Structure 1
């Protein structure tokens, strides 16, 4: 008989807990809430940055004299820096300490925001965006690691990750609205407004995030990170430069991209502590999840950039009107995201991802059909697509990440999560590069120059749909078997 049994034998019957009752979950202390909110605001800042800059692009281009090819680097520079070093960022936090890496990266992020809001040169602005993306590649995994190590596995951690994800979704939604307001005042405020928020998060992290008691041992794969980032930058530059023909710069950068990306895979096979253990890529479900996020994020990021240019430059809409036109999508993402985990538990990831890609394809198709009207009506011509995009992104993002990590072993969870998020960023940069080339070389007035880009975006989403649907079609419509998932709800 255990000590617990002995104690219960001397407890009056009416005072004993019933078998059906479960012990009350311990309440989170104020210190735990402070840690969670601090880490969550870092994710919110990343999401704010992605949504705010798109609306400001036409104003930036007008003041700094940048064409569409240059403007896309303001977006691509950030996502390439983010995607290129995301895996290294997670590894660095494990080796050097989560709090230390988190604080240093936040300082760099805030400094890059300040510089971006003050410069008068397109080149310096793009450089600040790349640096800002590099900083985000360290803040995001460090923040995630702070959350997962501060809360016990199970209901507490799931609840914490759910709140963490809601901050990201809310940051994206509020960024769309704030960007319109700030751009009306002046586009520089879309960069400067985040500086005081970063300062508050830094102070909060110093005060509330505990020091790391344990750190992993091992080394850094700096060559792998450098070759991957350099290869992606070269590939995007070559694609964007194609609008001017196959010049020497296109050929040389294309060769550099192939060499550097090839070198990355060669390095990963030989280095002692690789960024990516290539054996993880043998899992077909994980590969499909990565391709799906490339299609989802790549198509929508490109659409948002393109539609901002069209509505403001083509139709003469103000920045605030433009931002509010996309805001319903952000609101839907913020509202639905907390419930996606429950849907995953009930239906599995594959049906939700398929539904997500279906919504995106239909949304782009409807915009192709209705959005090019000479005098479009927002409710009839634009709103249906915007609502579909919100539903598609809300269902797809969490489901794709859950599918990618659900197929990984416990030891590979961090790698799988970093890999799928890297795929999303790389997809965003590559698709946007192609779209920029298509709309820069387009002819005509109004919607016509943007039509080729929108057709390509639709094709990307459709490719993602078929990648997800293929296993289901192969089984005659049966739901694919999936590994059990611990969903965030």
Structure 2
């Protein structure tokens, strides 16, 4: 990709080249994506180092997803009020601080808190970075290339995180948790120079308001309590009383979110989107796909570590499930359009549970390459077919004025699906690998049913959502 020349600003000075800005924002997306995969590979080492049981260890995964999904909608309002540049740079700084705190602590509670905070930071930087690109790069081929590069780095980041964690965790799990900190600080320094200031009059004059704040915090609290309750439902750590209390606590917090949305003059989720069937089907399908995928990788990570595999061997074993998405990222939209989003989603949603069902379930099964490849290959193909197609299907019939809100709702489902699946999968893993895998397969199959339902509705006329 050729770098563009500098263009003069109103004051006569040369503005930084847009492709330098795009490169920094894309690199941030890479760091955000590798944050998930790197910590998955490091999980067994972290558990051994801190003496954490599996149900408690899963918070490293679910805490990040809960912070991302629960606070994503509120984060959008903060960006409107404070401005893209200010929020983006502040989130990078907090992300770096949380990475260091998580790497240095011996407290499981503090480590979980840093994961929730980092998830919120990514909820701010990922959509804000894309918004900065669309405002800084002129519409047309240049913008399409920039957005493609941004998406590619996100897909490649997951693969890169696997390999990086394989190397760093061998030296010590704290290095894996600490690595994002210096990278985020370098991106902060580059972003302070390259990210343009917000144009006058683009910020909202008032803060997000108490309705949005109460709703966003209520949603996040409800998700965290649901994760806590689900993690105490099975296995040696089964505590029905704690689980029931957590579920009971989640109800008023969920009600707070609903009440705040109903009373808000400008709700976080426009009501019309809740009646938009293609968006809701796609969001539920994506939640099941991402949730089952994260649960599958969690089971495989623990299984490989328990079989004596090193972090590097674990990373290599996961490549067939992750590399296809990275390799096809620049062409995924074209594939979805060629097949039709509904067909692509249905094919991918069927392949995913097939892959989970093929994973070795026998108690003494050795997770060697021959045993893992059929499962990981199916899962990788499922993501190539379905992941981008789900997003296209979700937002394809939503008017331009509702695209941002629809995207936020969709991503909330994706992340909350991961948080709510990882917890019970980890709890069931303490009973046996088979029950955990059956739950993963059931979640994937539920997503397939939603996708096939969408395929059945594909030929029926539907009303477009109105802003």
Normalising by the residue count of structure 1, what TM-score does the alignment of the two structures yield?
0.87
The Cα offsets for residues 121-150 of structure 1, whole Å up to 9 and x where unpaired, read as: 222211211111121121112112111211
Residue equivalent to 1:181: 167
Residue equivalent to 2:281: 288
Residue equivalent to 2:423: 433
Structure 1 position 481, deviation (Å): 6.5
Structure 1 position 236, deviation (Å): 1.0
Does the 8 Å CA contact 1:357/1:461 hold for their aligned counterparts? yes
Does the 8 Å CA contact 2:101/2:114 hold for their aligned counterparts? yes
Residue equivalent to 1:344: 336
Unmatched 5+ residue regions in structure 2?
Answer: 7-16
Decide whether aligned partners of structure 1 residues 181 and 199 sit closer, same or farther in structure 2, where only a CA change above 3 A counts: same
One of 230, 236, 256 as aligned partner of 1:239: 230
Q: Which has the larger radius of gyration?
A: 1
Residue equivalent to 1:355: 347
One of 447, 460, 463 as aligned partner of 2:443: 460
One of 83, 88, 96 as aligned partner of 1:102: 88
The Cα offsets for residues 192-231 of structure 1, whole Å up to 9 and x where unpaired, read as: 1112211111011011111110424254111111110011
Compute the RMSD of aligned alpha carbons.
Answer: 2.1
Residue equivalent to 1:420: 410
The Cα offsets for residues 63-90 of structure 1, whole Å up to 9 and x where unpaired, read as: 1110011101111111101111111222
Structure 1 position 245, deviation (Å): 5.0
Residue equivalent to 1:60: 46
Structure 1 position 339, deviation (Å): 0.6
Unmatched 5+ residue regions in structure 1?
Answer: 1-25, 443-448, 485-489
Tell me the secondary structure at the aligned position of residue 293 of structure 2.
helix
Mapped to 2, the partners of 1:416 and 1:152 lie a distance apart of: 23
Decide whether aligned partners of structure 1 residues 48 and 245 sit closer, same or farther in structure 2, where only a CA change above 3 A counts: closer
Residue equivalent to 2:379: 389
Structure 1 position 343, deviation (Å): 1.7
Structure 1 position 279, deviation (Å): 2.1
Residue equivalent to 1:22: none
Does the 8 Å CA contact 2:289/2:444 hold for their aligned counterparts? yes
Alignment of 1:160-309 (within 5 A): 160-213=146-199, 214-217=201-204, 219-220=207-208, 221-243=212-234, 244=237, 247-309=240-302
Decide whether aligned partners of structure 1 residues 99 and 439 sit closer, same or farther in structure 2, where only a CA change above 3 A counts: same
Mapped to 2, the partners of 1:482 and 1:384 lie a distance apart of: 38
Decide whether aligned partners of structure 1 residues 452 and 268 sit closer, same or farther in structure 2, where only a CA change above 3 A counts: same
Does the 8 Å CA contact 1:219/1:273 hold for their aligned counterparts? no
The Cα offsets for residues 425-483 of structure 1, whole Å up to 9 and x where unpaired, read as: 1000111112122122x1xxxxxx11111111111111111111114346xxx756699
Q: Work out whether 1:35 is the aligned partner of 2:35.
A: no
Mapped to 2, the partners of 1:483 and 1:53 lie a distance apart of: 43
Tell me the secondary structure at the aligned position of residue 214 of structure 2.
helix
Give aligned pairs, total. 447
Mapped to 1, the partners of 2:68 and 2:275 lie a distance apart of: 25
Mapped to 1, the partners of 2:27 and 2:259 lie a distance apart of: 37
